[in-house]
Amino acid sequence: MSRQPEFEDIQRALSVPNDCSRWGMTRRRFLQMSAAGMTVATVGPMVGKYEALAGQRLAHDEGVVVMVQLGGGNDGMNTLVPIGQGRYRDLRGNLAYDHDEVLHLGDGVALHPALSSVKQRWDMGQVAIVQGIGYADPSLSHFDSIAHWHNGRAGSDPSEPATDGWLGRWLDGLGNGRTELEAVVFDSTIPLHLRGRNAAAIGLSLNGGANFGLDDDADDLRMYDAYRAFAAEAHPRGRWADAVSGAGMEALALAGRLSPAYEGPGLSGSTFERQMARAARLISADVGVRVLGVSLGGFDTHGGQAGSHQSRLTDFDRGIQQFFDNLDARFASRVTVVTFSEFGRRPEINGSRGTDHGTASCAFVIGSKVAGGLVGQYPSLTNLDSRGNLRPEVDFRSMYATVLDTWLRSDSNQVLEGSFESLPLFRGSPGNRDIINPPPDPEAHQGYIITTDAGGVFNFGHHPSYGGGAAGMVAALEPNPAGAGYWLCTTGGAIEPFGDAPYLGSMAGTNLDAPMVDMAVHPDGDGYWLLGGDGGVFSFGNVGFYGSTGGLNLRQPVVGMAPHPNGRGYWFVASDGGVFSFGSSRFHGSTGGIRLRRPVVGMAGTATGRGYWLVADDGGIFAFGDATFHGSTGGIQLARPVVNMTATPSGKGYWLVADDGGIFAFGDAAFHGSLGAQTVPGRVIGIAA
């Protein structure tokens, strides 16, 4: 009655507790007992929470990978069914699916019926399926084979004990710039692929963040102050006491950084679904996570496979759905989900209506920048190896190499210690930047773009579009004055950059006192301000803060903003026509004292910085300072209200846009078309030239 270790045992044996590697080197960076540390200890209770939140954002072109392990050996042949090969039915007997049961992908293959949401993404061109993935001279031992996949080192032998994993070595390569959060699992033990020689992923709780550090009762805040004060000074009490207090203070700050991932509605579904949802929220919390490890077990289907495999794949499919449902759209173009399993299963059904350990399987690569389609060849069902198993077509390290080079922008030769062919898995690198590469066009910008609150961006004339889409209702569109691109700003304060517009921070995930209504950009394109409806101003990047009306009780909401052309000030306008000027911007008059027939909805500044226009929703124009009146729709009955305006580069004209996309051009502004009869989702809210 000998007992074999169970699969979970194997997983544990391949894991170590959080934060330690084989040689006990921890990846902690000790907080230096620096002036900065002492500041945190003395400034006040909220500093740790928000200061830390600001520091760890993901760069706009940094990719995130979610590695999903299907533990136990997923049956590739009933996941990606070779429905077109007659041999399939012969080998699989009553485990074989019929032609009308599966989800057809063409090319003689089909998905298991449980994979409906994967199929939906496939139809959107966002799923690549690597066929016949495995490795030469395969091991059929769970332990050896999963360790081999985790290891991912070129030239390694599955029977060699592996002491580190490919993503762990990638972490090692990040060197001293690492934070605690590049790699995360929701477990107390760290699987081998996420452990390097020195670095390792951190294990976080699935259900609750650490409460420690997050309570906000006055009493708790006093406790945190005291806790920080333990680290206020290095004392002659031994280096370890100082290290303990420093590490404690850092742990307190880390809890604050993670808190957004644990807020919001509770998670539902299986453990795997909840892990995938939490993974998405953690990415959306924008704390610098690059790699997540998630695992779903139970694929070791030696007997009674039909039911158990169905339920595992259903769980998987729902998890994928949950992941994308919970992912903030700002990250959609930066996130890829990759699956793997230690092996596939024997093509021929066994005597227990199951399948035994096999070799090649299939892997899914899912994300909005994925080049959808089949990769590699389906392994032959007639030319099996001596044990009756499939012959692998693609080495799994090719998939790793592609992920490392394209998605993590790393060097796969270094991480994998060898060179592997690249697979056509991605349409481009992470982020929105390369969706369209605009050719240098002398006529570029002779035109305009408009945006809807649903995030749709429409270009007219020669103005290029770099795509659209944002998480939430769009409140503003601003072009990058220094390049080819633009930003969308949502009412929730999220920023979505397009083209070469840099992401410099946003208010997403913070509690806003009022929704965002507009934004303004520094002429160098390296900083911007967001404007709240209460007149609160939030600056990001290389711009200064010159004041706001956030503390005042305004009679009317603020609706629009214009920057000073020198970048050192701004104006904003309230719906009653009241103008507020800050920094270099001077007050040149307003309609605040007159009773307007219609509310003001927007403003634009002149090129000199010595004037501005205000526009009301009936198309009425009010010009102040050196701004010149070139005409308005104030006298005509409009079908739809005007919502915004923008001036031409010369300042000798302007366009007005109505909420149905109608365009009104005045002065030297040329008409390049409008949405006209075209129906688009949402209502138009902004225009830029």
Partner 1 sequence: MIRDDAVHLLRRAGFAVRESDVTQLMALDRVGGVSLVTDFSANPPAQPPADIADPEGSRWRQIRDLRNWWMERMMTVPRPLQEKLTLFWHSHFAASAERVYYAAQTWDQNHLFRLQGLGSFRDLVHATATDPAMILYLDGFRNKAGNPNENYARELMELHTLGPGNYTEYDVVEVAKAWTGHMMDDEKRYYEFQTYHHDYRNKTIFGNTRNWNGPEVIDEILLGSKQVASSKFIVKKLWEFFAYEGPDDAIIAPLASRFRANDLNVGLLVRDIFLHPEFWSLRARQAVVRSPIEYMIQCMVGAGSTFDEARPDWWLEEMGQDLFYPPNPSGWQLNDFWLSARSIWAKAEFARHLAWKATNRDHLNEIETEGVPMAVAFALHFFGISDASNTTRAALEDYLYAERATWEWPQHANLLTLTMLTPEIQVA
* Residue numbers at the binding site for partner 1 (CB under 8 A): 1-3, 5, 9, 12-13, 15-20, 22-24, 26, 28, 30, 161, 180, 188-189, 202-204, 210-213, 218-219, 222-223, 225-227, 229-230, 232-233, 235-238, 240-245, 247-248, 250-251, 254-255
For the chain, the maximum distance between any two Cα atoms, rounded to a whole number of angstroms, is: 94
Question: Which token pair is 526?
Answer: 């390296």
Cβ-based nearer residue to partner 1, 251 or 638: 251
- Positive or negative, the CA dihedral 495, 501, 502, 504 is negative
Q: What is the pairing mode between strands 611-616 and 600-605?
A: antiparallel
- In 525-619, which residue ranges form alpha helices assigned H by DSSP? none
Cβ-based nearer residue to partner 1, 246 or 319: 246
Question: Which token pair is 372?
Answer: 């959808």
Cβ-based nearer residue to partner 1, 230 or 546: 230
- In 298-367, which residue ranges form alpha helices assigned H by DSSP? 305-326
Tell me if 654 sits within 8 A of 645, measured CB to CB.
yes
- Distance of closest approach, residue 334 Cβ to partner 1, in angstroms: 25
Residue from 651, 577, 650 nearest 617 by CA: 577
- Give the end-to-end CA distance of the chain in Å, rounded to a whole number: 78
- Distance of closest approach, residue 231 Cβ to partner 1, in angstroms: 8
Cβ-based nearer residue to partner 1, 17 or 388: 17
Question: Which token pair is 269?
Answer: 């579904």
- Distance of closest approach, residue 35 Cβ to partner 1, in angstroms: 16
Cβ-based nearer residue to partner 1, 197 or 652: 197
Residue from 644, 653, 649 nearest 671 by CA: 653
- Distance of closest approach, residue 490 Cβ to partner 1, in angstroms: 32
Cβ-based nearer residue to partner 1, 234 or 638: 234
14-41: buried (b, 16+ CB within 10 Å) or exposed (e) per residue?
A: bbbebbebeeeeebeeebebeeebeebb
Neighbours of 113 (CB within 10 A): 16
Cβ-based nearer residue to partner 1, 162 or 645: 162
Cβ-based nearer residue to partner 1, 263 or 421: 263
- Distance of closest approach, residue 158 Cβ to partner 1, in angstroms: 14
364-374: buried (b, 16+ CB within 10 Å) or exposed (e) per residue?
A: bbbbbbbbbeb
Cβ-based nearer residue to partner 1, 160 or 411: 160
- Distance of closest approach, residue 156 Cβ to partner 1, in angstroms: 16
- Distance of closest approach, residue 687 Cβ to partner 1, in angstroms: 47
- Distance of closest approach, residue 403 Cβ to partner 1, in angstroms: 27
- Distance of closest approach, residue 220 Cβ to partner 1, in angstroms: 8
Residues 6 or more apart from 277 whose CB is under 8 A from it? 267, 269, 322, 323, 325, 326
Residue from 303, 305, 304, 324 nearest 313 by CA: 305
Cβ-based nearer residue to partner 1, 236 or 266: 236
Tell me if 101 sits within 8 A of 371, measured CB to CB.
no
Cβ-based nearer residue to partner 1, 235 or 597: 235
Cβ-based nearer residue to partner 1, 100 or 217: 217
Question: Which token pair is 353?
Answer: 């209506």
Cβ-based nearer residue to partner 1, 288 or 493: 288
Cβ-based nearer residue to partner 1, 5 or 55: 5
Tell me if 487 sits within 8 A of 497, measured CB to CB.
yes
- Distance of closest approach, residue 21 Cβ to partner 1, in angstroms: 9
Give dist(CA 361, CA 266) in Å, integer.
Answer: 35
- Distance of closest approach, residue 211 Cβ to partner 1, in angstroms: 7
Which 3 state secondary structure label does DSSP give 598? coil
Cβ-based nearer residue to partner 1, 19 or 434: 19
- Distance of closest approach, residue 335 Cβ to partner 1, in angstroms: 24
Give the strand order in the sheet containing 485-490: 474-479, 485-490, 495-499
Give dist(CA 514, CA 553) in Å, integer.
Answer: 12
Cβ-based nearer residue to partner 1, 251 or 332: 251
Give the strand order in the sheet containing 537-541: 516-521, 527-532, 537-541
Residues 6 or more apart from 491 whose CB is under 8 A from it? 472, 473, 474, 475, 515, 516, 517
Tell me if 102 sits within 8 A of 84, measured CB to CB.
no
DSSP string, 73-84: T--GGGTEE-TT
Cβ-based nearer residue to partner 1, 63 or 213: 213
Give dist(CA 432, CA 487) in Å, integer.
Answer: 11
- Distance of closest approach, residue 416 Cβ to partner 1, in angstroms: 23
- Distance of closest approach, residue 476 Cβ to partner 1, in angstroms: 38
- Distance of closest approach, residue 33 Cβ to partner 1, in angstroms: 11
Phi then psi for residue 6, to 5 deg, are: -80, 170
- Distance of closest approach, residue 4 Cβ to partner 1, in angstroms: 9
- Distance of closest approach, residue 360 Cβ to partner 1, in angstroms: 27
Q: How far is CA 98 from CA 76, 114, 679, in A?
A: 16, 14, 43
Which 3 state secondary structure label does DSSP give 509? coil
Residues 6 or more apart from 439 whose CB is under 8 A from it? none
